[in-house]
Every structure is written in structure tokens, then in C-alpha cells.
Structure 1
Amino acid sequence: MERIKIARQKKGISQKDLADLLGLTQQAVSYYEKGSRIPDEQTLSVISDILNVPTEYLTGETDDPEGWDLWEEATGYTPEQIKKEIKRMKSANHIVGDDKNLQNLISQAVSNLSGTGNTDRGILNSLVPKIIDLQHELSKKYEDPEKLDKLPHIGEMRIRPANIRTADLIYDDLNDEAYNKAMDILMQARRDLANISSDLRLN
């Protein structure tokens, strides 16, 4: 795989340096570069991280050593959009990890653009699944499985008739009002988090 050699030389590290970082012999790296041996998937991934290039570049699936075409195809964001977000991240000095690793920067920029990264919107959005988990945990603690099993089913889905109260489904020694109030608080928290993003027009 000659591209390992090209990327290594561009990175400015020797065969021995790369071998040491991989925990391999220099001869093994030489074999990889000559193509007489092919690194396994895990080793190839580590090599791509060290050399700061996509694995697809090393395997010849793309000719772009920075992988912009792959990122655009996978995410729908253009290189210009991603570069603009990277510029914003750098100006805000808000980068997690190696700020010299382009793939790390692109990955964070894409996460930010999609609303799952280290932006206000991304941080708030990341809380919603945790609240949903709390709702599931609350239901699991309060609801009596034997009572739930008596509800009508459509396949795996339980149908709760309108005349069935929460009190009819929870354990007899638990308070349905406490359950309902706790669930209302969690539901309101989800709505409030969504409103913060829209009210403040967060990125």
C-alpha cells in the first residue's frame, strides 16, 4: 500500500517511528508499504489516525487524502460548510482533542452542524435521550408487569384503553399521583429544552 508511505512521508515521520507507534517491527511497516502484506482492519484504522488521513485514502477508495468527498457523501455537508464550522470552532477556541488532526476537526464540525456536537444546541439535544431514559426507568419502577400483560396487544405493542388509569397499572403499594407528577416534570423538561433552542435561536 504505497499510500501509507506517501502519507507517512507527508506527515514527516520515519518507518521506524510509525512502527513504534503501532507496536510493530519496521519490517512489518515496510511490508505494508510495499504491498506484500495487507494490514488488518484495526491496524489500518490506527495507521489512518496516526497519519491523519481517511482509511479509504490508504485503500485507494478515494484519491483525496483529506477525505472531503467522503465526508460530503456521508453527511450531506459541503466542504465549504464544514470548513466554515472549523473556522468558527478555532476562533472560539472550542476544539476537543488534537486541533492539528484534520479528521478530528472535520468530525467535530459535522457533529456541530448536525446538532449533536459541542454547541449549545448539541449539548441541550444530548440531554433529551437521558430524560427519555429516566422516563423509561420511572415507568419500569412503578408499573406492574402482571397488570401490563393484561392490556390488549397488537403484536408486541400494548394498547392502553382510555378508561385505564395509571393507578390501574402500577404496583398496589405505590402512589400514582407521585408517578404522574414525576412523569409530568420529565415531560416538561423535554419541552423546555426544545424551547430554549428555538427561543434563543441557538446554533
Structure 2
Amino acid sequence: MTICYEVLGDRLARLRRSQGLSKTDLADRLGVTVTSICYWEQGRSRPRLARLQALADLLGTSPAELLSRDSAPGGDHLADLVGRMRAEIAYAAGTTPSKVRITIEI
């Protein structure tokens, strides 16, 4: 089975287009430059946390959904979720997933 991941920039571009917004529209509504939107969509930079909620609101999603990686359908089992989150945490921390330990208390 192949798992396809959508990176943040691709997700932003897809959601922006689905809302019928141009890069200029989004930049104006967020109070940032068009260059910032271009860099986010190209993966050259990421939106600051202070802008994340406003960005998610404009795109009709949540900040967590913006930052998560999408997997192929059927990937919502706990092991798949933990694996995806391990990869996200490792990416954010600048390390490898094998160095990330996740504990779940129920």
C-alpha cells in the first residue's frame, strides 16, 4: 500500500483555491505580503503560530489540520496516527522519527 502525504504548502494552495481566494486575497485578509503566501505554498517558510488560527479560519479548517500530514484513506488507525505524529514531531524538532517517543495514557 502506498501512503501519500500532502505537505503544508500543497494543502494551503489547495484549500486557498477551494475557497476561491487568490494569493493576493489571502495576503490582504491576513495582513501579510503576497511573498509570504508564495513562500508558505512553496515550502520555503511556514506561517507563524500567531497567524495560524486566522489562516485556518479563512481556509475553513483547523490549525491542527493545516499542520498535519494527510495519509491515504483508511490511515486513521491509532498506529498510523501515532506514526504520522511521530514524523511531524521529528520534523518540527529537527530530528528523526526513531528519536521520538510517544506515550498514550488512557
What is the root-mean-square deviation of aligned Cα atoms in Å?
1.4
Aligned length: 63
Give the Å deviation of 1:61: 4.7
The two structures have a TM-score, normalised by structure 2, of 0.55
Measured in 1, the distance between the counterparts of 2:19 and 2:58 equals: 9
Bigger Rg over Cα: 1
Runs (4+) of structure 1 exceeding 4 A deviation are none
- Structure with bigger RCO (C-alpha 8 Å, 6+ apart): 2
Measured in 1, the distance between the counterparts of 2:42 and 2:66 equals: 13
Give the Å deviation of 1:25: 0.9
2:14 to 6, 27, 32: 6
Query: Matched residues, percent identical?
Result: 30
The two structures have a TM-score, normalised by structure 1, of 0.29
Q: Secondary structure at the match of 1:49?
A: helix
Give the Å deviation of 1:60: 2.0
Higher helix share: 1
Structure 1: runs of 5 or more not aligned:
64-203
CA contact (8 A) 1:3 1:57 kept: no
Measured in 1, the distance between the counterparts of 2:37 and 2:54 equals: 13
| Residue of structure 2 in register with 1:45 after alignment | 53
Structure 2: runs of 5 or more not aligned:
1-8, 72-106
| Residue of structure 1 in register with 2:27 after alignment | 19
Give the Å deviation of 1:62: 5.2
